[in-house]
Amino acid sequence: MPDIVISEFMDQEAVDRTAVDYDVYYDPELVEKEAELKRLLSDARALVVRNRTQVDADLLDAAPRLCVVGRLGVGLDNIDTAECEKRGITVCPATGANDDSVAEWVITAVMTLLRGAFLSMGEILEGRWPRSRCIGRETAGKILGLIGYGAIARKTAVRAKALGMEVAAYDPFIPADDAAWEQVTRMTGFGELLAVADAVSLHVPLTRDTRHLMDGRAMAQMKKGAVLVNASRGGVVDEEALAKALSSGRLAGAALDVYETEPLTKAAGEIFVGVNNLLLTPHIAGVTVESNIRVSNVTMENVRRVLEASQP
């Protein structure tokens, strides 16, 4: 039986290097095979996942020798960290390894939505010529509002400022005297930021307090014609309220990389049918060729470190 089980996709070279020293079982589709996953974990000491494998008490019961869970990314929504701690299992996110990729995705989405013209391909192919409707806005001079001001938000701010944007951020957990505020305008209220931003980007974890943080009431506080971007966690945005805000013209556009239901099913996606000013990507903001290599390397280094430290 394998020492290390990897249930979702990662860089093959990182797998091969690890397999020199450890018995590794790698199947990027293993997340879809619950019974086989549990069987393979019966003697495994390490499990490596992305965001789809649900590392809960039920799965952990099948892994009595497990001592580390490596997360190919940073979000821990799919991992019961309290249960892992209770069982003495170390959880290792790949902190910082995909920050650049997410920041670039956010900036790309903001620029695309503000300009607007890139959403017109269907009309053009039908023989229409929507030039007047496609007159969009420049990025320079606009205000980017960041909800949450951690590492990814800060990298996003650097890129936004390079494009000539002003950046405002709201994060009640960062002290007012923190040096991070030197490069952006610190907003003291959530609604205060929503009222001034031309584009709002979310950078918060999914918690009881942040679920539906962006609901209909919050969207009503945004500038008319503003755009909303979410590459943080599904559930932070009330998707029904978003569809209404876009359809009514309250918001000029939105981009989502994460959803309340993942993978997004046809039924869950019905709410967005007919909403044209919307960009949807499949939870891929933090995954590029380059970041996949970085995340994979960091994760396997983390796993190795824990395994070596736990040797009898």
Annotated catalytic residue 123:
no
Query: What percentage of the chain exceeds 70 in pLDDT?
Result: 100
Sign of the torsion angle spanned by Cα atoms 298, 299, 302, 307: negative
What pLDDT band is residue 312 in, cutting at 50, 70 and 90?
Answer: low
Q: How many CB atoms lie within 10 A of CB 306?
A: 19
Among 159, 203, 283, 304, the active-site one is: 283
* pTM, to two decimals: 0.91
Is residue 308 part of the annotated active site? The answer reads no
Better-scored residue on pLDDT, 216 or 276: 216
Long-range pairs for 16-23: beta carbons < 8 A, 24 or more residues apart: 17/300, 18/300, 18/303, 18/304, 21/304, 22/46, 22/307
Residue 11 in 3-state DSSP? coil
- Residue 17, φ and ψ in degrees, nearest 5: -65, -40
What does the pLDDT read at residue 311? Answer: 72
The yes-or-no answer on residue 212 being catalytic is no
Beta pairing partners, 71: 49, 93
Contact 253, 278 (CB under 8 A): yes
Which one from 233, 250, 294, 304 is the annotated catalytic residue? 233
Domains for the chain: give ranges and CATH numbers: 4-97+290-309 (3.40.50.720), 99-280 (3.40.50.720)
Buried b (16+ CB within 10 A) or exposed e, 214-225: bbeebbeebbee
CA dihedral 47, 49, 53, 57 (to 10 degrees): 40
What is residue 79's DSSP assignment? B
Query: Poorest-confidence range of 92-106, 123-137, 155-169, 292-306?
Result: 123-137
268 CA to centre of own chain: 19
Q: What is the pLDDT of residue 77?
A: 87
Active-site residue, selected from the candidate residues 123, 166, 262, 301: 262
257 has pLDDT over 80: yes
What is the rounded average pLDDT for all residues in the chain? 96
